[in-house]
Structure 1
Amino acid sequence: MPSECGRVTERVEVLVARGFDGSLRTPRPPQDVSEFTAHHVGITVSDLDRTVSFYRDKLGLDLLTRFEVGGEAFSTGVDLPEAHAEFAHLDAGGTRLELVTYDSTSRSASEVGSESRLDTPGTTHVGLAVEDVEDCHAELPDDVETLSEPQTTESGTTIFFVRDPEGNLVEVLSP
């Protein structure tokens, strides 16, 4: 038996809507979220070379490509006038990590305000799964800022967090 929400959705799909110009039109059916796949996680940074070095040399991610983008279509798409950016894509076990610096980027995440805290709305982090969190933590170079020793949560996941050179949070976990 369909839920009440399902019945409402079925009715909405057959209604007619008015376009911005006032004309009658049939509304587009809702996008099926099963058609989406995650493509990348993007982080804006102020120093691309330093941040690529951190993820590649200290965390072991593979650098896939570096490229630059600019022009009118890009500027319009990112809603920044005369935008020009340099990108680096790294492979995190099948998930693409996109690091980007814009010509107009002048401050790191830690300089924008207080350092990111996970309980602050809008704070983001990248989660990287490893087989053995304890070994990973032990093998990190001394200059990598860690927030804690590895901890096993009530759910059974072992985690610890580090900050990249820009102040962004990176969770290292073993599910």
Structure 2
Amino acid sequence: MTRLAAHHFGVTVSDLDRAVEFYRDTFDFDNPERFAVSGEAFADAVGVDGATGRFAHFDADGARIELVEYDPEGDATDDGTVNRPGVTHLGLAVDDLDAFYAGLAPDVTTLSEPRTTESGTRILFVRDPEGNLVEVLEA
């Protein structure tokens, strides 16, 4: 078998420009690499007739975060409550969770203030403009 390696972590969004602005500004990422993909092979691969995609790749300390906007756009998923099977989230680490939390823009939605779990990990969940969950943690 061929060696398996992580390549990227994908988040589907309905407005790529708005999502790029959020991830760049909230997590202090550099401007992403942007590109588009279309054609029959892409549509077949993603299982959506006539699909095209606009992509943005952020480098997060060696982990690639991929934001993708599809045309045609599918229906939004359910409410995204964290404990529902199938709900996903992106996990990002920071050195100082309290400082990160204090620096959040007023319009960034959080599930709670930073909390310390039984394992000693400090966590905070935020929602991006699409409602996707992002766990920010201080291990």
Fold conserved (TM > 0.5)? yes
Distance 1:156 1:134 in 2: 15
Query: Does the alignment pair 1:70 with 2:38?
Result: yes
Under a length normalisation based on structure 1, what TM-score does the superposition of the two structures give?
0.76
**In structure 1, which of residues 141, 145, 156 is the aligned counterpart of residue 120 of structure 2?**
156
The answer (yes or no) to whether the contact 2:32–2:56 under 8 Å persists in 1 is yes
Which is greater in Rg? 1
SS for the counterpart of 2:126 is strand
Measure, in 1, the Cα distance between the counterparts of 2:138 and 2:30: 20
| Unmatched tracts of structure 1, length 5 or more | 1-30
Kept in 1: contact 2:110–2:126 (CA 8 A): yes
The alpha carbon displacement at 1:57 in A equals 1.2
Kindly provide the CA deviation profile for residues 53-76 of structure 1, in whole angstroms up to 9, marking residues without a partner as x: 000012212233111100011111
In the alignment, what sits opposite 1:133? 97
Q: Does the 8 Å contact 1:54/1:165 carry over to 2? A: yes
Quote the Cα distance in structure 2 between the aligned partners of 1:122 and 1:106: 16
Q: Which has the higher contact order (CA 8 A, sep 6+)?
A: 2
Give the number of aligned pairs. Answer: 139
Q: Deviations over 1:79-114 (max 9, x none)?
A: 11111110001112211110001111165x4xx33x
Gaps of 5+ in 2: none
1:60 equivalent to 2:24? Answer: no
Seq. identity, %: 55
Kindly provide the CA deviation profile for residues 125-144 of structure 1, in whole angstroms up to 9, marking residues without a partner as x.
Answer: 00000001111001111111
Q: More helix per residue: 1 or 2?
A: 1
Matching residue of 1:79: 47
Q: 1:47 to 1:106 in 2, by over 3 A?
A: farther
Query: What is the root-mean-square deviation of aligned Cα atoms in Å?
Result: 1.3
SS at match of 2:136: strand
Q: 1:101 aligns with which of 69, 81, 95?
A: 69
1:39–1:73: structure 2 CA closer, same or farther, 3 Å change rule?
Answer: same
Taking the TM superposition and a 5 Å limit, the aligned residue runs for 1:1-175 are: 31=1, 35-105=3-73, 109=76, 112-113=77-78, 115-175=79-139
Aligned match of 1:8: none
